[in-house]
Every structure is written in structure tokens, then in C-alpha cells.
A and B are shown apart, each in its own frame.
Chain A
Amino acid sequence: MTVRHDGQPAQAGPLSGAATWLRVHGRLVAAGWRRGSTYRAAALGGLVANVTFGFLKVSVLTAAVAAGGGELAGYDTRAVIAYAWLSQALLGSVNLFGRIDLAGRIKDGSVAVDLLRPIDLQTSTTAQEVGRALFSLLPRGVPIVVLAVLVGGMRLPTDPLVLGAGLLSALLAVVVSHLVVYLVAATGFWTVETRGLQVFYMVVAGFFAGLFVPVSIFPGWLFALAQATPFPSMLQIPVDLLSGRVAGGAAAGALLVQLAWLVVALVLGQLMTRAGRHRLEVQGG
């Protein structure tokens, strides 16, 4: 790495280049975190919605388990309760809605300013979004888990290995979801308006991520279709790992699947950004 991507000569060797990259992106994550912390009312509003959906899902899924004789495709009562609450707890942080500020910046042309900065558009955007998403775990994730333990009879993982793998998986889910949503927004370089695609993403992502019913109870062909998408990596996998339903070697495999999707989305995003910046046309000045 002798030349930075904006054409300026790099000032030092590759080692300090990596250190600089980490420092800059760490600051962007922190900036995103602070930004998230200013929207307290919004977080509270989201919490109310998550709790309502959590109660509705717990009711219907536990009834389904009871009707199935105490088991529903490998889920017992405790497992579906954990599934319903953990998926709601993560919902404020993983991006299944397909909305990202970048889409608006591409549409109104202010992305031109972002592209002038000597930092990669994809990684800097994702770092800020991830910081904001991780903050959401405090006002939305933690209260839901506490509520679930108090009223829902949910068990928390006590094995540090299970908990660690679950938290790592949740972090990967947050990053993967924002990298894929970046791809949705980046189509705006060609189409300008991406709202239609965003709604499409929202519908497909929610269903295949296991937001409504666990992906594991899908019929075979639909399950296979879901597995071919990055969406289970955004919700089903971290929920399965956090609840301890998937553990040991299977958990390691699930983490690798998430990592693979992260790399795929990262590479695709780089290619799209490079092609897109040549397409971008901004009016005015």
C-alpha cells in the first residue's frame, strides 16, 4: 500500500496503515454510538413496539408448542420463548428494514462530499451504522432480555463459552446486516430512488431471517432457499447461539457461515462502490 485510494501517497508502511485504519474506524463506531445515544425517545418508542410483538409471538408460539404435544420442530416451550424474546431484543440493532442514511445522501447528491473524504465509503458508512446499532442494545436489547427473564421464563446462557459465541454471533449479525443494506443503498448510484428495493429487502429479509417464525420450522425447500441467503445470519443464527439451541461444533460452523457472508457483502460492496462512483451524477454545486 504505497498510494491511498484518493491518490495521495501513504505516509508510512503497511503496519501503521492497518493501525490507522483501525483507529479511524474505531472513532467512527464511537461517533455512531454517540449519535444513537441522542435518540432516546426513538429508542423508547421502539422498545414499546418490540415488547408488544414479543408478547404476541410468545402467546402464539407457546400455544403451537402445546398443540404439538410439547414440541414444535425441535423447539420446546422454553426454546420458543427464548427465540421470541431474543429476536425482538436484537431487532433494534440488526438492520432488517433496509433503511440507511446513505440512500438519502445518494439521492440528494450529498454523497459527493462523502466521496471526497480520504476514507472508504463502504467501511466508514458501515462503521458509523454499526456503532449506532450497538448502542440500541442498551435501551432496547437489555430491557427486553430482563423482561423476558422476569415474566417469560427465559433461561440465560451461563456457560461463558456459549455466551461468548452468542455475543460474537450477534456482533457479526449486526455487521452483516448493515453491509447488505449498504448494497441496497448503493444501487442508488444507478437508480437514484431505492425505496422500492428497500421495501422488497424488508419483506424478504424479515421472513428469511426468522423474524416471524423460526427458519428451522420451514418446510424443506423453503428452508433450503432461506439458507442460500445471508438473512438467517442476521437473526436466526445469533438467536440460536444465544439461547444455546445450537452449540459446540455446530455453533462454530454457524459463526463461519456468518463470517463468509460478511466477506461476500464486503467484496460486493467494494465492487459496487467503485463502479457506482463513475456512474454518479450530482447536479448543482
Chain B
Amino acid sequence: MAEPLSSRWRPYRAVVASRVRSQTSYRGGFALDLVSSLLVGVVQLAEVLVLFRSVDSLGGLDLAAVVLVFGIADLSFSLADLVVGHLDTLPVYLRSGTLDVFYLRPQPLLAQLVTSDVSLRRVTRIAVAAVALGVGVAVNDIAWTPLHVVFLAVVVLTSALTFAAVFVAAAGVQFFLVDAAEATAAAVYGGRYAATQPASVWAKPLVAVFGFAIPIAFTAYLPVVALLGLPGPGWLPGWAGWLAPLAAVWMWAVAALAWRTGVRHYQGGGG
């Protein structure tokens, strides 16, 4: 199989391009989609701002630090959502049996599913997150060194990878749950919500779940603690934030296991 890489990717590119065209062809609907997606970002930021109107600091973070946490968390989540967010619809394929079609094609199942759609409407939400991140970088007093700059860029990418892995792991679990698919929303969307919070306020069960098992605290909160040189949340020292990119490695190991187990468990849609 000495196919050049570009020709191996051609079918995926063709599908993604067709998805992009199909979404932009209904102009009115697409415009409303873009506005809704923008609003999702604005409302989520507003949640944080409204809460901070009444308090000066929460869990050791002031408003400036929380905006930076929000920016990193939401930018990396939105990037993951753009690329793999539609894995959420897997239970629909499972119930209707249309997943069997994907099994018949000589390409990896996950690669097919990921490239089967792309949600272009999410670009406006990415824009909101990017603005929040820009503001967060500007208003915080960070002793910038090249290391800090590289670290921030790496963290956005690896956190996006962590969230992508959460989507994949959730999809793997959906092979077993099917009808109870909403349970995985606890990990995916609960995780997104948790990522924007100062993890230092969490009770012990939350630390176990979102601090370590699904390492959400490592996506934005701990890196900001490291960047600002703040003390840690009590259950980890502040410098642990520098190790944040390793969370992506752990989460992808979990995701690979969940996905493989799920795919092997699948018995077909029948009919």
C-alpha cells in the first residue's frame, strides 16, 4: 500500500467539502446557525461575568484570571467540537442501523465518522473564545518568557486534543448505552462547563472525576495557575499545571480503549 498520503485522504476531503457546501447552501438557516453559535459563546461568558459581579475572587482566581481560564477552556473545546462534535449523533446511527454502511467501507470507522460532517456554524463560537483568550492574556500580569508563550500555544492544542478524546471516549461508551446516551453528556458538556470553573472549589467526588479520571482541571484551570504562579488547588501543587499537556496523552489512552471496546461490542443494526 504505497499510496501517497494525499490520495489516501482524497475521499475524506471530498466528503468534508460536500458537507461545507450543503451547510452554506441554505443561507438564511446558516446565518441563524452562526448567530446562535455566537450566542452560545456569549451566554457562557456572561454566566462567568454575572457570577463575578458579586464576588472579587472565586477559588483563588480573580476576574482577570477566570477570563483567561474561560478563553483557554472554551477555545480548545470549540476547536474539538468543530472537528469531532458530531460524534454525538452516533446513537442515531446506532438505532437506525445506518452505522453498518460505515463498517462496509475499507476505511477506519472513526476516520469516516469524524470526516462525515463538520459543523461550520461553530466558527462564531470559536471567535468568541478567541476574543476571551486575547482579553485574558492582555489583562493578566504574566511574566512572559518564550517558555510561557510556547506553553500557552501548546496548552490550547493539547486541551483541544483532550476534549476531542472525551468526545471519542463518550462515543465508544455509546455503543453500550445507545438509549441512555445522554449520560455521556455529563462527561462531554459537564466537562466543558467544569473546564471554565476554578477547580479549587470542587468537592472531593468532582476532583476524582474531573480532576483525574477525565482530566478536565488540566485543560485550563491548572495551566492558568502555572502561568500566573498561583498556589495550587490544595489537592495538587501549583507547578503541576506545567504538566497539563500530559492530560491529553492519558485521555487519548482512555478514548482508544473505550472506542475499541465499543466498536468490537457492536453487533450490527439488523434488518
- Chain A residues within CB distance 8 Å of chain B: 39, 41-42, 44-46, 48-49, 51-53, 55-56, 58-60, 62-64, 67-68, 72-73, 191, 193, 195-197, 199-200, 203-204, 206-207, 212-213, 217-219, 222
Q: Are B180 and A42 in contact (CB under 8 A)?
A: yes
Mask, B17-56, CB within 8 Å of A = 1, is 0000000001011101101110110011011001101111
Residues of B within 8 A of A73 (CB): 54
Known: A45-B182, A196-B32. A56 touches B51 (CB 8 A): no
Closest to B191 in A: A52
Known: A44-B180, A44-B183, A45-B180. A193 touches B201 (CB 8 A): no
A196–B33 Cα distance when bound, in Å, is 5
Please list 20 pairs of residues, one from A and one from B, whose beta carbons are closer than 8 Å in the complex, sorted by A's number. A45-B183, A49-B182, A49-B183, A52-B187, A53-B186, A56-B194, A59-B201, A60-B198, A63-B198, A64-B58, A67-B58, A73-B54, A191-B29, A193-B26, A196-B30, A199-B40, A200-B36, A203-B39, A212-B47, A217-B54
Say yes or no: is B193 at the interface (Cβ < 8 Å to chain A).
yes
Q: Are B190 and A197 in contact (CB under 8 A)?
A: no
Q: Are B32 and A42 in contact (CB under 8 A)?
A: no
Give, as a whole number of angstroms, the nearest-CB distance from A191 to chain B: 8
Give, as a whole number of angstroms, the nearest-CB distance from A231 to chain B: 12
A213–B181 Cα distance when bound, in Å, is 26
- Chain B residues within CB distance 8 Å of chain A: 26, 28-30, 32-33, 35-37, 39-40, 43-44, 46-47, 50-51, 53-59, 177-187, 189-190, 193-194, 197-198, 201-203, 205-206, 209
A213–B55 Cα distance when bound, in Å, is 14
Residues of B within 8 A of A51 (CB): 186
Known: A67-B58, A219-B50. A206 touches B177 (CB 8 A): no
Q: Are A199 and B33 in contact (CB under 8 A)?
A: yes
Q: Are A64 and B54 in contact (CB under 8 A)?
A: yes
Known: A45-B181, A56-B197. A200 touches B32 (CB 8 A): yes
Closest to A208 in B: B43
* Closest CB pairs A-B (n = 3): A45-B180, A196-B32, A45-B182
Interchain CB contact (< 8 A) of A63 among B36, B58, B184, B186: B58
Q: Are A42 and B182 in contact (CB under 8 A)?
A: yes
Q: Are B43 and A60 in contact (CB under 8 A)?
A: no
A162–B197 Cα distance when bound, in Å, is 34
Q: Are A67 and B39 in contact (CB under 8 A)?
A: no
Most A CB contacts (10 A, CB to CB) among B54, B197, B209 go to: B54
Q: Are B180 and A64 in contact (CB under 8 A)?
A: no
Q: Are B32 and A197 in contact (CB under 8 A)?
A: yes
A68–B190 Cα distance when bound, in Å, is 25
Give, as a whole number of angstroms, the nearest-CB distance from A198 to chain B: 9
